[in-house]
Chain A
Amino acid sequence: MYETTFLSSTELSEDQYRKLVAKFEKILKDGGAEIINLEHWGNKKLAYPIGKAESAWYTFIEFSAPGDLIKKLEQEYHYDETVIRYLTVNLDKYAVAFNKKRREQGFGNKNNETKGE
């Protein structure tokens, strides 16, 4: 199980952004991934400027996939100019349980003391 987050430039129009997300969804599905969850965190202000940008579109995807797909995904992130940051994480059993709980409790759950029980 993996989760990936990528930041896209705000210079994208709404439509271009949607196309971009669809592109990565396709890459995942074509590679044999099963997308568990996809979140749009919207336009968030960055804690520090990245290449002159002060904010970015945050997209978050949870999925299961064969291992070799990850390399391909990250390559695609790297090629795309509108993706300014990305991070893919392999989830251990605690992380998987945490994510599940987080999804069930609804998004925007910033309540911390119940994590990972």
Chain B
Amino acid sequence: MAEHHHHTREGMGPTATNQIKNTRLAKKYCRFKKAGIKHIDYKDARFLEKFINEQGKILPRRITGTSLKYQRRLSVAVKRARHLALLPFVTDRSK
């Protein structure tokens, strides 16, 4: 038998798929904490669009690198923007 190759992954938690690997290798930081931003404006649709995917869904923290505190505020902002029709609830991208 070939030698038993012990494969260790250092510094990374278990990943479900290989696609997630990329987001963990880059230095992950919360952009709000880094920039010292305290308030997330629900009226600014163009800014919030960075945090939703093409279907209109809110992106998870592990993709955007946002801390929990700000993810919650972000979520509230997006939902308010949706209520005011500044952002869609669902976008119909026929795939």
Number of interface residues of A (CB under 8 A): 24
Q: How far is the CA of A53 from the CA of B19 in the complex (A)?
A: 41
Q: Decide if A117 is an interface residue (CB 8 Å cutoff).
A: yes
Contact segment of A9-17, A42-50, A71-79 = A42-50
CB contact between A5 and one of B44, B46, B84, B87 (< 8 Å): that residue: B84
A84's closest neighbor in chain B, by CB?
B85
Nearest-neighbour CB distance to chain A for B49, whole angstroms, equals: 10
Nearest-neighbour CB distance to chain A for B83, whole angstroms, equals: 6
List the B side residues contacting A46 at CB < 8 Å.
85
List the A side residues contacting B88 at CB < 8 Å.
47-48
Q: Decide if B24 is an interface residue (CB 8 Å cutoff).
A: no
Q: How does the 8 Å CB contact mask read for A55-76 relative to B, with 1 for contact and 0 for none?
A: 0101010000000000000000
Nearest-neighbour CB distance to chain A for B48, whole angstroms, equals: 9
B80 near A87: Cβ-Cβ < 8 Å: yes
Q: Told that A48-B89, A98-B38 touch, could you supply 17 new A-B pairs with CB distance under 8 A?
A: A46-B85, A47-B85, A47-B87, A50-B85, A56-B85, A60-B43, A85-B83, A85-B84, A85-B85, A87-B80, A89-B42, A94-B38, A97-B38, A98-B39, A115-B35, A116-B38, A116-B39
Can you list 25 A-B contacts (CB < 8 A)?
Answer: A5-B43, A5-B84, A47-B88, A48-B85, A50-B85, A56-B85, A58-B84, A60-B43, A85-B83, A85-B85, A87-B80, A89-B80, A94-B38, A95-B39, A98-B38, A98-B39, A98-B41, A110-B44, A110-B47, A112-B44, A115-B37, A116-B37, A117-B36, A117-B37, A117-B38
Name A's B-contacting residues (CB within 8 A): 5, 7, 46-48, 50, 56, 58, 60, 85, 87, 89, 92, 94-95, 97-98, 102, 110, 112-113, 115-117
